[in-house]
Amino acid sequence: MSDQNVHNAGFTSSGIRGGSLASSMMSHEARASGGGVHSGGPTATLQEMGARGSTHSSGFTSSGISGGSLASQMMSQEARSHGGGTPRGGTTSTVQSISMGGKGGR
């Protein structure tokens, strides 16, 4: 189900769908960073997954983050850089939320 959730949010193999949650996220992220979307951020990560058509191979699943996966490595790295926790609205929490059908951490 998480692959469909990412697609439903507007992250597709054809790019970000206009008027979608994805386009809203991209706009918000670009304004916050001075005009661009950074590689490795929530929008870029989700779009990469939407273009591939798979979140499961990265470890973001509808059941949570899979141990030993790329997702768990991302979560661990983000937690270390933020003093032990993953911040709301960060890459890991946003990608996981959308993978589970949520609206991200915004």
pLDDT tens, per residue, the chain with 106 residues: 478 888 889 999 999 999 999 999 899 889 988 988 888 888 888 898 888 877 767 888 878 888 998 889 888 988 888 888 888 878 888 888 888 888 776 5
3-class SS at 3? helix
pLDDT value at residue 106: 52
Provide DSSP, 4-63: HHHHHTTEETTEEPTTSHHHHHHHHHHHHTTS---TTSHHHHHHHHHHHT-SGGGTEETT
Per domain, the residue ranges of the chain are 1-31+39-100
CB 11 within 8 A of CB 46: yes
For the full predicted model, state whether its pTM sits above 0.95. Answer: no
| Rg of the chain taking only CA atoms, in angstroms | 13
Of 27, 20, 25, nearest in space to 42 by CA: 25
pLDDT value at residue 81: 86
